[in-house]
Chain A
Amino acid sequence: MSDQLADSAERLFAANTGKAVIRAAEDGTFPQALWDAVTEAGFTAALLPEHTGGYGTTVMEAMALLQIAAAHAAPIPLAETMLAGWLLAQAGLSVPEGVLTLAPVRVRDVLTLRRSGDVWHLTGTASRIPWARDAAAIVVLAEGPNGPAVALLCPDGFTLSHDRNLAGEPRDTITIDAMLAADAVAPSPLAPAQLRAAGAAVRTVQIAGALSRALSLSVQYAQTRVQFGRPIGKFQAIQQNLAILAGHAAAAVAAADMAADALANGLDPLLVGAAKARAGEAASVAAGLAHQSHGAIGFTQEYELHFATRRLWSWRDEFGNEAEWNGVVGRAVLAAGPDGLWPALTAA
């Protein structure tokens, strides 16, 4: 991505995201100023083709923006709005303005679409929907009579019960009973498993961002916290832990790169799975080491480490944890067999 775009994103998130904004968001106040700035900058449309309202950014650039947003713990549905718009555009539906999100996100939640005269009837319950309470519309991937279909669902079509992830991000349950106009529904270009893979890809990118934040906070703390007469970062035990943390952070960046690649090129389950699983493992190890390096202060609400680590602990489980995705990867290479294993890796 161009340095210019990265720099402007850094500036935007640094100026509009801070402890106060994140805390207010966790207390239920949507960060409208931040969202307006992000929308104004075109970031929410970064995954859209130009003819559907995009600005010609590549998938790689869109994911780089998302990584920066995550590094700042920006408490907004940027990933969800990007991805929902991306799905609408692929289905040939127009992309509305405002906050968008996706449903369903859990494997067992199935939404059903039935023909009812010249309109569609959408029903079902979906849990853990990111930012459903704030969404202008929810992009639904439903089971239709002729296979998966994409539908645009407005807030008057569902009831809501609030839920949150460990980072305090909205993860609501929606119960849908909605009649949808014919032009709000289209055959889906993606199967449910592919949408799950796309979700895993964006969470992978976000994990890399939050991990880079956890690393830089840990390094800064080790350089300034003095015990036994010197900064704790001068002790080899701390240095070795932070080196391990840096290794996992770098692996997460590589995983984010793989995820972006996959999102741009057909969502190869082997590549997405390896990316999400590797990033998830990195999140687990690195969050633990970041807290260990900080001692008690990192455990407080006052200090900001938890904005990164609570996101890591949430995102590693969203759209499939390490067991699920490593299983996908393992099945793929076991099917490839001993002679097909290496060719499968180099083709991924």
Chain B
Amino acid sequence: MQALNFTTPPPFDPVAEALRHDVRQFLAVEMHDRTPHQRAESWSGNDPAFSRKMGERGWIGMAWPKRYGGHERTALERYVVLEEMLAAGAPVGHHWVADRQSGPNILRNGTEAQREQILPRIAAGECSFCIGMSEPDSGSDLAAARTRAQRVQGGWLVNGTKVWTSGAHRADYMILFCRTGAKSEGDRHAGASQFLVDMNQARGGGMTVRPIIDMRGAHHFNEVAIGDLLLPDDALLGQEGDGWNQVTAELAFERSGPDRFLSAFTLLVEAVRALGPTAPERAAVAIGRLTSHILALRRLSRSVAGMLQAGEDPALQAALVKDLGNVLEQETVKVVRLLVDVEPSEEDGSPPLIAVLAHLVMTAPSFSLRGGTREIMRGIIARGLGLR
């Protein structure tokens, strides 16, 4: 059964554990004044200065070749850094997308010039990316994207609208998914391509980024209107017409990491703090259950990291990890609120548990939407089972 084909995760590795120790020391210093409420932002927390410090330590682009600013560390070593950052609630949002999926995409599909120009800046923590996939009429159905790049003298002319584009207002680059040709008979995935868009230039002309404020009042999302944006020839990423395959591979990186099951970890930490060692048995069982789920997910997720390192294509396994992980993240909110008799609030001065709970009550619905909805994940799994 292919859906169950998770290879055994990489074994205990003293080098990785030494690295874990270094990361914890770094975090003890860098995170000492960061409140639980801030930590609850998880990988949505944005702090360019923090990302630069991580870059200085060599903790971004860790597995990439040294000639592109990488450090040629193993997938497991990279995994250790990621999970330590997430468990601590470190503000890794500035470089997260670039390190997780855009950089690997450029490494795999980019030209030598693109790699040399961009990857070292990502690895230094100085370069952030946004993902130009969703459109007003193309959410889960990515193949319905209508934004189009047309070949013109000296490059490509792009027109269309992207939406729900997290961080487009400050990102240095977007990887834009759009149409460059027609869908062919029987293959609605044909005729799509990916482009590297220099956002600082684009925002100066041809692109308008408008904020979409979320229900918490926060600004992560944007609507990105693209009107006659001229991209140079060398903005094409990978092969013209190969966009669907490239984006699918990118999503395996996007969907399998510890960011798909640790988004609510700060709430578990605060619950453990509030309940204390003498908590009633009912609470111990409930906290234990969340912990058991995390341990099993960590094993599955590390297994996918090993498969990615080995050059396998674990798109199916990644969908499975994301679905299980999102269920756990949302379950954490449901379980913790019934263990502690508090009313959630993010108003200034709210005690840590109350603020963290409020933050997660309000953000948890997004966990099973971002990066592909729960229903889409389950559709991918069903295809892997041979049902579609």
Contact = CB atoms under 8 A, between A and B. Distances in A.
Given A215-B4, A278-B293, A334-B276, A239 B288 contact: no
A140 B294 CA distance: 35
Contacts of B287: 329-330, 333-334
Contacts of A258: 295-296, 299
A47 B89 CA distance: 42
B300 interface: yes
Contacts of A341: 268-269, 272
A326 B279 contact: no
Interface stretch (B102-110, B142-150, B186-194, B373-381): B373-381
B252 to A, nearest CB: 16
A329 B296 CA distance: 13
Contacts of A212: 1, 4
A247 B384 CA distance: 12
B387 interface: yes
B295 A239 contact: no
B23 to A, nearest CB: 11
A64 to B, nearest CB: 10
A250 B272 contact: no
A345 B291 contact: yes
The contact size tier of chain A is 35 or more
Contacts of A236: 379
Given A236-B379, A341-B268, A329 B387 contact: no
Given A334-B277, A338-B269, A240 B382 contact: yes
A289 interface: no
B6 interface: yes
Interface residues of B, number: 54
A233 B293 contact: no
Contacts of A330: 279, 283-289, 291
Majority SS at the chain B contact face: helix
Contact of B4 (A246, A270, A337): A246
Contact of A243 (B291, B299, B382): B382
Majority SS at the chain A contact face: helix
B353 to A, nearest CB: 10
Interface stretch (A20-28, A121-129, A216-224): A216-224
A242 interface: yes
Interface string B264-281: 010011101101110101
A197 B300 CA distance: 22
A100 interface: no
Contacts of B317: 250
Contacts of B323: 243, 247
Interface string A269-285: 01101110110010000
B87 interface: yes
B292 A243 contact: no
Nearest to A219: B385
B291 A274 contact: yes
Given A330-B285, A330-B287, A345-B291, A247 B381 contact: yes
Contact of A242 (B20, B87, B275, B382): B382
A253 interface: yes
Interface of B: 1, 3-4, 6, 8-9, 20, 83, 87-88, 265, 268-270, 272-273, 275-277, 279, 281, 283-289, 291-300, 303, 317, 320, 323-324, 375, 377-379, 381-382, 384-388
